[in-house]
Amino acid sequence: SIDTANTISEDINIVSSKDARSQFNPLYNAFDNMYTAAKQAELSCDFDVWTDMQLDRAVATMLHRHFLHLFQVWRPADHPQLLDEILTPLRIYVKTHDVVADVEQLYPFESLLGQTLVPRLKQFVFTQWDPMSDSMTLLLDALPPVVVAMISDEIESVLRRFVNGINPRAIMAEYRRAMVGSSKPADTKSVPTPSSNLEPLRLDRVVLPWLPFIHDRGELTSDIRRKLCTTLSDWIPSKKSNPDIMMLVSPWLELLHGKELRKLSSKVIERLELMLRSESVFDTQGQPMWPFEVLIKWHTCLPFADWFSLIKGQVLPKFVAYLRQWLEDPNASYPEIADWYWQWRQQYPADIFEHTAVQTEFRKPLVYMAVATARRHQSN
């Protein structure tokens, strides 16, 4: 069976990728005969004939010349399904690692791909691959993890090049102009919807699908975080813009960690804090709700400690100050004040009250109301 496979291998001449699968069929049938014979031999032996005789190495050796020529003439963008067509049928005959392994520990088939396929993939990724296209998923899904790891640096380099080519300030300038245009009467609108101007900043759509294939993401995620922080620097929070900015930032608040998460979260906090300082007031006669509503929306995205620092530092002090001023009014209706307090409390997400720090802060207004009620009773 081995001699037959060698003879067939010598007779094969692969000239293009389009008919490669059909030209490999005779050789693959020979491999199947080898494998069947090895399994039959196991019935009279006490060892794994295929593995112990390293027949997977024989398979890789027979394929080497053909793969080397095939991948040199192959155009991945035109025929991305080639790898699935020619590699998937071989999986029964060869071993591959389920996780990334050291180069010294590669199986013969993995070494074969490293020598014949990886140089072509590196060239394609670095010179032709467009991250906006998903065609390369067909390539990567057909490869062992260790082979994917061999082109990980090239994938990261192209993604970094894509990210660093984005100009957030120019994009945000267009976005602000679109926001102004969207406030005009319908018959005078001549600009696209504001959110469409932010499409170039939807880095999650372009980058996230490729992150599982990148071994070291540190520099790439730093680049992304810097672009998002620049975007946030040009953001003036409003009820209309908040969903658009959350759309850009929230996927990365979930993915980032450590100092990158802290830097991105701090930039969001900085912008929301400026909004609360200038726009947030308490007034029963004309309460602007949108700053508070914007802040609440970020509750599920930001780290809780960061988010609650805004509540504690910018919202509750104004709330308590207004409450105390109202309580000092001799004509104030305490039941009305209590009702106002509870209505405001119900605006907050219920889950935040599981935190002791939150419970402590919200007990303070209750103490002020209890003291004012006791004083009124004493004076009466």
Cβ-count burial 86-106 (b if 16+ within 10 Å, e if not):
bbeebeebbebbeeebeeeeb
Cβ-count burial 338-375 (b if 16+ within 10 Å, e if not):
eebbeebeeebeeebeeeeebeebbeebeebbeebeee
Determine the residue type at 124: F
Would you list the DSSP string of 176-195? Answer: HHHHHHHTS-GGG--S--GG
Q: How far apart are CA 103 and CA 101, in angstroms?
A: 6
pLDDT tens, residue by residue, 10-45: 999 888 888 899 999 999 999 999 999 999 988 888
The stretches in the chain having pLDDT less than 70 are 101-103, 134, 182-192, 380
What pLDDT was estimated at residue 188?
Answer: 47
pLDDT tens, residue by residue, 266-282: 999 999 999 999 998 88
Would you list the DSSP string of 51-105? Answer: HHTTHHHHHHHHHHHHHHHHHHH--TTT-TTHHHHHHGGGTTTS---SS---GGG
